[in-house]
Structure 1
Amino acid sequence: MVRESVVLRLFRKILIVWCAIVSLGAGAFGGPAPAFADVLRVGRPLCYAVSRTVAKDGGSPLVFLCAGQPEGYQKGTLWFRAMLPLGADRRDDLSLIVHSSRFDRLLVTFSYADRAVERQDVRSGDFGTHWRAGGQLAFRAPHRDVPLTGVTIRFDKVASAHLLRMRLVGRGEESTQTAGLAALIGAALVLLLAGAIYNASLALALRRQFSAWQAAWAICMVAWGACWSQLHLLFLPAMAGAVSAQICTFLSCLAIPLATLSAITALEERYVSRWLRRATLWLTAGVFVLGIPLSLMRSGPIDTLGGVLSVVVLANLVAVAFCIGQAWRRGSSDARSYAGAWAVPMLVLASTSFFDADAMFWGGGSQILVLFAAAWQTLWLSAAASRSHGRLRAERDMARRAEGQAQELARRDALTGLLNRRGFIERIGTVLDTSRDRGEAVALLLIDVDWFKSINDAYGHEAGDVVLAAIARCIAHHECPSCIVARLGGEEFAVMVAGLDGAELMRFAEGLRQQVRDCEHGDLIDNRNVTVSIGIAETITGADFRALYRLADEALYEAKRNGRDRVVIRPPDAANPCTDDLDQVAVGL
């Protein structure tokens, strides 16, 4: 209960931070932008022109349209022009931020009031120093003494104009936003990577299919986040542009089936209807199948296919929600964990449909929200898996303890608490082997209560049991690793002791006999003294237990014949060593 409350408090803190981030994004980062940090769209203040073939360098159209949407540009050239009011750059030098997409070439031209122009360009596979974290390209207008009047942006063979996002920001703002966006991306990727490693370790340790799918999904999201944010260009600069965009599309279409499979495999079949499970898997397969051509396309109906894919993805998410809801209603505990994990991603995807997220989080937009929603889902499911694993581990430990206690009880005498015959035989093997290796003497003491039948006959079997329990208490405190005490049955006890021989062994046995004699049993048997006879067999030649038991039994009967209440010791029988296995002793006993 304590651990669970700690986890719940942790999730509450994460939720508060999440809400704060969303609030900041919707307010500080998503609110109206000043003139020098405007999002460029067609008609405000962006105009466009189209050439159905790739235009020659230096060429520029004479007519730009400021209404409608550009068409027929995928195999040609698409121009955008943004005219700026005079003095727009007096606050700071401006930077153009372009969120990269699939194109062959991008040329940016800055125009000044004195008719001077400055050109900067990048090509697919070579972004130079213009790439920034968050899938962005930055073009800084050189500072001059005359105002900047306009910006012309030329794309050659761009795949989709609808996927382009462009902003004008101050140069100082650009540096700050780039650093902040990189920090957000890094935090999300670290959380996802930690979740991937943790779930992979759970999959290996517990052999759980759900954890394996969850780890694969988290790894896929890490790869997508690194590719989308262009962090991979630190190591693979040649992947800049169209190749990275195509890989991102494929990874995003792969991540959704992996997430769906992790949810479906976590819910037991008895909690989800077969038709609902199959429908969800078919929708998941549809997402993956549609994602393959979309990731390969450089031209054609990309926007149309993307719209169809969005509908299928939404239907897939709804189907997963129904699976979780049905399993929850039928009593699945895993469904509750998945409900908390999937709630945030679904809310994020739904919320981006109601407000424009392009300008949020310093241009990171909905991709940042998706990254943090994925990190939330990974953390939530990792914690849920940890709780489930902890619960299973606690149940397993309790079962093992109960099994150990049952096994120990099976080796103990119920009346006296001493080892019984079975437990004694199992324990003496260690003492014999250790003493044989060390060359120590080993002795077996058989202890038999004198005239015990007369006690039962005179005072009843209940009084006899009390006497046996009292005798057991007298000799039990001698039990240690080198001294094993047991009740073999009836009124017969046994002590196996190592490291004592000769006079020391005799003093030890006499001490036991005297302790039993001095034991008081009270009025239960009319203050009658109870005595024992002890037979001892010792060896230093490595004889086995059966040989010791035979010699000790002979010594015990000799003590009985000589008047009882005495100790008789039988010297080692070195002339006839026995080689019987310890496992055969149980038959002899």
Structure 2
Amino acid sequence: MVRESPMLRLLKKILATLCLIASAGLVGLCGSSPVSAQALRINHPLCHAVSEEVAPWNVAPSTFACIGQPERYQRGTLWLQAMIPPKAYDRDDLSLIVHSSRFDRLIVAFFYADGAVERQAVRSGDFGTHWRAGGQLAFRAPQRDASLTKVTLRFDKVASARLLRMRLVGRGEEGTQTTGLATLIGAALVLLLSGALYNASLALAVRRQFSAWQAAWAASMLAWGTCWSQLHLFFFPAMAGALSAQICTGLSCLAIALATLSAITALEQVHVSVYLRRTALGLTGCVFALGLPLSLMRSGPIESLGAVLAMLVLANLLSVAFSIGQAWRRGSREARSFAGAWAVPMLVLGSTSFFDADTMFWGGGSQILVLFAAAWQTLWLSVAASRTYARLRVERDIARQAEAQAQELARRDALTGLPNRRGFIERAGSILNISRGRGDVVALLLIDVDWFKSINDVYGHEAGDLVLQGIACCLAPHESPFSATARLGGEEFAVLVAGMGDVELMRFAEALRHEISSYDHGDVIGHRKVTASIGITRSTIAADFHSLYRVADEALYEAKRGGRDRVAIQLMDAPDRYSDLGEVALKC
């Protein structure tokens, strides 16, 4: 079972909490009553008038057309007028909500039955106190004894009349809806921020290209959501209006490109055909190539280019969907994660094509849907990536553990379980270095089983192996931080000890010899006694293992020649006497 990292658990808690906040907001949205809200559109019931040049601020058109679409207004002035039928609203505390677009100036005039006119104005770079979360401007009709008869809006150099959205709502409902919309937007932005930070940390930790692209995608959507919702005006009020709208267009195209790159680069080439991969990347390039100049436009065929851009985005999403589907069929594990992540954004973008979402979500329109879909996608992929990396980490740890075990086995004698010659030499080198620094005496004991060949000849090699295992049981307890044991090969064993004086060393060797000779091998060779000869050397000077081995081997032969089952010791007098011991030991 893959264990979740603390960061992943924290991410899930943040996701759950913010989803509850968003759900509460959506419940409040569905439960709100839009009885007094009225969407204002051109011809329904807005009438319009156009000046091909920017008109003086105090000049109003004499007539308004209530049919057809306004034209040639992008470099001039567009007036929109809504007549308020008598007693159409039960209250006189109305607010006009305008979704900001690309314009130079907007003047809203409220006309009353007693002839009074109240004007409020904003311009690009200065929305004052009129801006609201969700890309909206709010103009509150002043309360008067006379009833409101009509509302006129004047736009100077507006980019597109078709993209304007306006609503008349009660002032109390305006505050409630603005608060609810701000809560939803804040929850979505926090989700995107969490995803961006988490993916960025993953990219730095695991050096994976996918996490870097995903972090960039989440950051771009976070920037887009902040800019669209106008929350950035808290810090940069001069960006209000056309500049923010242009930046939003560029960021949306950038986000689509980054999302496509994150998906395509995460899918292995063997799982996606070259044609689909090139198609998706080519469409992404087209979206970015068209979106960049569109974001800079203030006039011209913005609506027609926007429609072309929408078709390119849809084609791009379909190419990514086909790539994910093909990779899934070919067994890609990443494709399953992407399928769950991309399903919601694609359903959202597809569904907005079949119903009008502009007046929904307290005026947030399809943008709020896209914002939450993006938050869903980045959080889903963050969790999926974390599980993948956690699984890879477990597999890596298992591989490292197996490698460490293999290395340990390579340093162990398979028959007795003691370190072999390689492991003993490495351990002895460490002990010698420590002892040299502390000034301790180091001694090497070479132990050779007496008449071992006869045991193999009489009782068989299997019995001989059992005898060697018994001797290993006598030596194994003497392994410690300052001593090492080993089977060097055949019937030869070794013990390296540090810090023992002469008397203590001889007592230790005699006790070891006695323990070996007293070991009961009755189940293997009956009452035959197994003895061993021990050769010892000790050194008070800086000596290496090969030098110790050469002198201890000479002492061992002396014990053999003396009748076996005994201990012989030979001291190292001077290092120059054994200058060639390394070469001799290697030959052994």
Tell me the TM-score normalized by structure 1. 0.93
Q: Distance in 1 between matches of 2:413 and 2:262?
A: 52
- Output the CA distance in 2 between the equivalents of 1:81 and 1:473: 102
Aligned letter for 1:396? R
Q: Find the counterpart in structure 2 of residue 468 from structure 1.
A: 468
Task: Quote the offset at 1:397 in angstroms.
Answer: 1.8
Give the match for residue 214 of structure 2: 214
Partner of 2:35: 34
The one-character-per-residue Cα deviations of 1:355-399 (angstroms, maximum 9, x if unpaired) are 221222222111111111111111111122222222222222222
Distance 1:509 1:498, change over 3 A: same
Greater CA drift, 173-182 or 439-448: 173-182
Instruction: Identify which range, 370-379 or 271-280, moves more after superposition.
Output: 271-280
Q: Kindly tell me: are residues 579 and 465 of structure 1, through their superposed partners in 2, closer, same or farther at Cα, counting changes over 3 Å? A: same
Residues 581 and 65 of structure 1: CA distance in aligned 2, closer, same or farther (over 3 Å)? farther
State yes or no: 1:175 paired with 2:200: no
The answer to whether the 8 A contact 1:547-1:577 is kept is no
Within 2, Cα distance between the matches of 1:426 and 1:229?
A: 67
In the alignment of these two chains, the number of paired residues is: 584
Shift of 1:441: 1.5
The residue aligned with 2:114 is: 114
- What is the CA–CA distance in structure 1 between the aligned matches of 2:262 and 2:43, rounded to whole Å? 45
Contact 1:535 1:568 in 2 (8 A): yes
Matching residue of 1:288: 288
Q: Distance in 2 between matches of 1:547 and 1:357?
A: 88
RMSD in angstroms over aligned alpha carbons? 2.7
Which residue identity is paired with 1:471?
I
State the one-letter code of the partner of 1:486: A
Deviation at 1:307, TM superposition (A): 0.8
Three-state SS of the structure 1 residue aligned to 2:149 is strand
Give structure 1 stretches of 5+ with no counterpart: none
3-state secondary structure, aligned to 2:448: strand
Q: Which residue of 2 aligns with 1:231?
A: 231
Q: How far apart, in 2, do the equivalents of 1:404 and 1:507 lie?
A: 37
Contact 1:443 1:501 in 2 (8 A): no
Structure 1 residues 160, 272: closer, same or farther in 2, change over 3 A?
same
User: 1:152-207: CA deviations, max 9, x gaps?
Assistant: 11111100011111122222222222222222222212221222222233333333
Pairing 1:53-452 to 2, within 5 Å after superposition: 53-86=53-86, 91=91, 93-452=93-452
Deviation at 1:278, TM superposition (A): 1.9
**SS class of match (1:260):** helix
What residue identity is the alignment partner of 2:341? A
| Matched residue type, 2:54 | V
8 A Cα contact 1:442 1:501, kept in partner: no
Counterparts of 2:96 and 2:505, CA distance in 1 = 98
SS at 1:159 equivalent = coil
Given that 2:539 and 2:572 are in contact with CA atoms closer than 8 Å, whether structure 1 keeps it comes out as yes
| Distance (whole Å) between structure 2 residues aligned to residue 585 and residue 250 of structure 1 | 77
Letter in 2 for 1:587: L
CA distance in 1, matches of 2:43, 2:585: 98
Q: Secondary structure at the match of 1:477?
A: helix
Q: CA deviation at 1:495?
A: 0.6
Of residues 345-354 and 86-95 in structure 1, the stretch that sits farther from structure 2 once superposed is 86-95
Contact 1:102–1:159, Cα closer than 8 Å, also in 2: yes
Q: Aligned partners of 2:205 and 2:585: how far apart in 1?
A: 41
Amino acid paired to 2:329: R
CA contact (8 A) 2:2 2:387 kept: no
Q: In the superposition, relative to structure 1, how do residues 14 and 259 fare at CA in structure 2: closer, same or farther (>3 Å)? A: farther
Equivalent AA in structure 1 for residue 285 of structure 2 = A
Identity of aligned residues (%): 70
User: Within 1, Cα distance between the matches of 2:226 and 2:445?
Assistant: 76
- TM-score (structure 2 length as normaliser): 0.93
Q: Answer whether contact 2:535 2:556 (CA < 8 A) is retained.
A: yes
Question: Which residue number corresponds to residue 549 of structure 2?
Answer: 549
Shift of 1:28: 3.7
Question: How has the CA–CA distance of structure 1 residues 323 and 14 changed in structure 2, closer, same or farther, with 3 Å as cutoff?
Answer: farther
Residues 543 and 577, structure 1, Cα contact 8 Å, conserved in 2: no
Structure 2 CA distance for aligned equivalents of residues 578 and 165 of structure 1: 98
Is the 8 Å Cα contact of residues 543 and 578 (structure 1) preserved in structure 2?
Answer: no
Which amino acid in the other structure matches residue 161 of structure 1? A
Q: CA deviation at 1:341?
A: 1.0
Query: Is 1:519 aligned to 2:522, yes or no?
Result: no
1-structure distance, mates of 2:351, 2:27: 15
CA contact (8 A) 1:89 1:148 kept: no
Q: Per-residue deviation at 1:150?
A: 2.5
Provide the secondary structure at the position in 2 that maps to 1:162: coil
Structure 2 gap segments, 5+ residues each: none
Alpha-carbon distance change, 585 to 367 in structure 1, aligned in 2, over 3 angstroms = farther
Match of 1:45 in 2: 45
Distance between the aligned counterparts of 1:14 and 1:190, measured in 2? 11
Q: Name the CA distance, whole Å, in 1 between partners of 2:173 and 2:504.
A: 92
Distance in 1, matches of 2:137 and 2:484, equals 81
Residue aligning to 2:487? 487
